[in-house]
């Protein structure tokens, strides 16, 4: 059942189905580890196929990732970064998360699946920026923070001409309005968001897109305490 949902969902997005066995194995490892640590609230395989894998699959359906250096900020159990890597193997991927146990799990998955060019990094985005400023073509992130906070965590990591793609629910008008100022202070430009439904469902989602148009001033990102207390 999960396999069918995945195959149909990918095919509807015109994405190759070669990745399906790897996605199924990833789910097997995730469901097993989820028994002993908190990785996801989703336990039903069909729900996982839709809400984790096919939701992540929206990214390569909407943007050309081929050969790009990609960072997934606050990847948790690997979403959207790992499905993206499985579906578009040419990317060079960094999975970044502040929780060590989650990063350890991701390393196990990458090894099990034999994925090349994936780095699993334990750390906070605002600290990671010190060494990896403008080191990526694309940053992606799902379910980590509000847009003004996310912009400060992610835009410093993207090179000029690159993009930051934030996966959001459709209910983000207020956040979008609030983010405009932050995005321009950080050297970005807010593009028109793309609304879509998760493939094979009627669940609406929104991709918020920021293009990096100039270098981020060196004073950003600030410490997380400052970002949180006083979002741009």
C-beta of 12: minimal distance to ligand SAH in Å? 22
C-beta of 51: minimal distance to ligand SAH in Å? 9
Q: Which parts of this chain interact with ligand SAH (CB under 6 A)? A: 73-77, 79, 96-99, 102, 124-126, 142-144, 153, 224
Number of CB atoms found within 10 A of residue 128's CB: 22
Nearest to 186 by CA among 227, 223, 215: 215
Burial class (CB in 10 A: 0-12, 13-18, 19+), 90: exposed
C-beta of 113: minimal distance to ligand SAH in Å? 18
C-beta of 125: minimal distance to ligand SAH in Å? 4
For residue 198, CA distances in Å to 54, 57, 122 come to 6, 9, 29
Residue number, 68 or 124, with CB nearest to ligand SAH? 124
Residue number, 73 or 138, with CB nearest to ligand SAH? 73
Residue number, 11 or 100, with CB nearest to ligand SAH? 100
Residue number, 113 or 144, with CB nearest to ligand SAH? 144
Contacts of 15 (CB under 8 A, 6+ apart): 57, 60, 61, 87
C-beta of 144: minimal distance to ligand SAH in Å? 4
Q: Residue of minimal CB distance from ligand SAH?
A: 76
Residue number, 94 or 190, with CB nearest to ligand SAH? 94
């Amino acid at each position: 059942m999960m396999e069918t949902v995945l195959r149909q969902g990918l095919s509807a997005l015109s994405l190759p189905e070669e990745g399906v066995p790897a996605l199924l194995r990833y789910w097997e490892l995730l469901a097993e580890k989820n028994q002993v640590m908190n990785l996801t609230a989703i336990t039903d395989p069909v729900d996982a196929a839709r809400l984790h894998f096919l939701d992540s699959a929206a990214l390569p359906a909407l943007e050309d990732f081929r050969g790009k250096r990609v960072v997934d900020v606050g990847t948790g159990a690997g979403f959207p970064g790992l499905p993206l890597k499985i579906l578009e193997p040419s990317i060079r991927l960094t999975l970044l998360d502040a929780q060590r146990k989650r990063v350890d799990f991701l390393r196990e998955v990458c090894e099990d699946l034999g994925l090349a060019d994936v780095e699993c990094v334990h750390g906070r985005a605002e600290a990671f920026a010190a060494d990896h400023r403008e080191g990526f073509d694309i940053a992606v992130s799902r379910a980590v923070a509000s847009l003004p906070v996310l912009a400060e965590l992610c835009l410093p990591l993207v090179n000029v001409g690159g993009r930051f793609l934030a996966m959001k629910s459709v209910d983000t008008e207020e956040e979008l309005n609030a983010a405009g100022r932050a995005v321009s202070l950080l050297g970005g430009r807010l593009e028109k968001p793309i609304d879509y439904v998760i493939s094979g469902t009627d669940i609406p989602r929104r991709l918020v897109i920021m293009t990096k148009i100039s270098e981020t001033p060196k004073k950003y990102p600030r410490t997380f305490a400052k970002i949180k207390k006083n979002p741009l």
